[in-house]
Amino acid sequence: MQRLEKANPVPNYLLAVLGGELPEPVQIQVPTFGIWSSQDEVLWESQMQNSGRYISAEWQYEKIADTGHWFMLEQPEQTNKLLLNWLKKHS
């Protein structure tokens, strides 16, 4: 299988799935923080929640209510509060 392209892996990823050549994902070994917004039409909540399966280090997930995909622009105060709390814990 050809190396998946970093800029747009979707076509190669789909070909790998169809060809039964999908590699096992590498576990992320650093603390990871995921934020999802309740009105996101691009990323499903299940995708964000299931990300924890690929992380062997600490995984934290937070949901921001009543905002869309660009939550950092729509709810900057809440987003910054979450990020700063995470960074304080890990600095």
Helices and strands: H and E segment counts in the chain: 4, 2
Q: pLDDT tier at 91 (50, 70, 90 boundaries)?
A: confident
Q: Which two tokens stand for residue 49?
A: 């929640």
pLDDT in tens, 9-50: 678 778 888 888 877 888 999 999 999 999 999 999 999 999
Residue keyed to tokens 């050809």: 2
pTM over 0.85: no
- Cα–Cα distance measured from residue 54 to residue 16, given in angstroms and rounded to the nearest whole number: 19
Mean pLDDT over each residue of the chain, to the nearest integer: 88
* Mean pLDDT for the stretch of residues 67-88: 96
Is residue 7 predicted with pLDDT exceeding 70?
Answer: no
Letter for the amino acid at 33? F
Which pLDDT score is estimated for 76?
A: 97
pLDDT in tens, 39-69: 999 999 999 999 999 999 999 999 999 999 9
Residue keyed to tokens 């304080």: 88
